[in-house]
Amino acid sequence: LHHKNLVKLIGWCYESDELLLVYEFMPNGCLDRVTHTQDKKQIGKEKASFVLHWERRQTIVCGVAQALDYLHNDCSRRVLHRDIKASNIMLDSEFNARIGDFGLARMFKLSEKTHHSTKEIAG
């Protein structure tokens, strides 16, 4: 999976029955941290009042939408993330959104039905 709004996997290692994944560093953490932190001065190098102005919010939402469109329509196989939430939306140095944590994701052939119902709430 390669898209500007997905966190890039840099490498992996499988050793002693443990799988380790190495992803690119996201200096502004996750969207959850930005929207729920008590001390917004700790976020990036910007002042709190500028962290999530409306243009930035729109950029984040559009980035997530573009990533989901890619996963659902532009991959050779459809990918359903199944765990989109603020803590799985990472923010790069420019506060661009990147979706991460594909632990619950499922892949489908383009011809397969993609409607899926879950009975449990994850994380």
Average pLDDT over residues 96-120: 73
- Which CATH number does the domain housing residue 30 bear? 1.10.510.10
Identify the bridge partners of residue 12 per DSSP, sorted by sequence position: 21
User: What domain count does the chain have?
Assistant: 1
**Do the domain assignments include residue 43?**
yes
26-73 per-position pLDDT tens digit: 999 999 888 776 555 555 555 444 467 889 999 999 999 999 998 888
Residue 123 lies in a domain: no
Answer whether residue 114 is part of any domain.
no
Most confidently modeled range among 19-28, 77-86, 95-104: 19-28
Which residues are CB-contacts of 52 (< 8 A; sequence separation ≥ 6)? 34, 35
Collapsing DSSP to helix, strand or coil, 41 comes out as helix
Question: Could you tell me if residue 26 is inside a domain?
Answer: yes
Rg (the chain; Cα; Å): 16
Q: What is the C-alpha end-to-end distance of the chain, expressed in Å?
A: 24
In a domain, 89, yes or no: yes
| Per annotation, catalytic residue among 17, 32, 69, 83 | 83
Tell me if 47 is assigned to some domain: yes
Q: 83 catalytic, yes or no?
A: yes
